[in-house]
Amino acid sequence: MQIRELKIPDAYELTPKQHADDRGVFLEWYRFDRLEETIGHALDLRQANLSVSRKGVVRGIHFASVPRGQAKYVTAVRGAVLDYVIDIRVGSPTFGQWDSVLLDDVDRRSVYLAEGLGHAFVSLTDDAIVTYLVSDTFNPTREHGINPLDADIDLVFPPEAGVPLLSPKDTDGPSLEHAAASGLLPTWDESRAFYDSLTTSSTGKA
């Protein structure tokens, strides 16, 4: 498995090694030990989600309050999506910036994003199936969103996605500027402190 850090700190692209023969393909799409070596602590998996999306569907930008937040390990098991990681941590050196990774059933990459980061994707194919391993269960009082069409973030959707299809919940989300002004967003400092606490807990060092 090859692991590459994205331009957003605490987010990674993971590309598995695939073993193909006349029967099909085998691969390891998640390795807790390789991820722990990279992020400095074990990923405490508490829930698994799956979505099926038609071409053009945009899901996000979603995030959860920190702490505890919700780290995500995202994979497309059928079809293709362009996955976005958005830095919404106030005070981060890359605040307001984003990076993207093509997730599909060809290269079978995954994306890991730490707690406090925003997440979205656009489906490039019909019936794209995306799985999410997450570090906390869903809590509606701590789940939030930002409008994925916010001009300040300026997510770029590829032409092959067609006309973006969004839920009213996502289009009704605040802009990044409004979310920051209202105190809705996590901060860089509190996010880093939470990551450090996870590393301390994982290593047993005070």
Render the chain in DSSP notation, one character per residue: -EEEE-SSTTEEEEEPPEEEETTEEEE----HHHHHHHHSS-----EEEEEEE-TTBEEEEEEE-TTT---EEEEEEESEEEEEEE---BT-TTTT-EEEEEEETTT--EEEE-TT-EEEEEESSTTEEEEEEESS---TTTEEE--TT-TTT-PPPPGGG-S-B--HHHHTSPPHHHHHHTT-S-BHHHHHHHHHHHHHHHHT--
Q: What is the DSSP string of 56-67?
A: TBEEEEEEE-TT
Residues 11, 26: Cα–Cα separation, whole Å: 25
Rounded (5°) CA angle 104-106-108: 60
Catalytic, out of 12, 41, 62, 73: 62
Question: Among this protein's residues, is 178 annotated catalytic?
Answer: no
Annotated active-site residue 112? The verdict is no
* Residues marked as catalytic: 62, 132
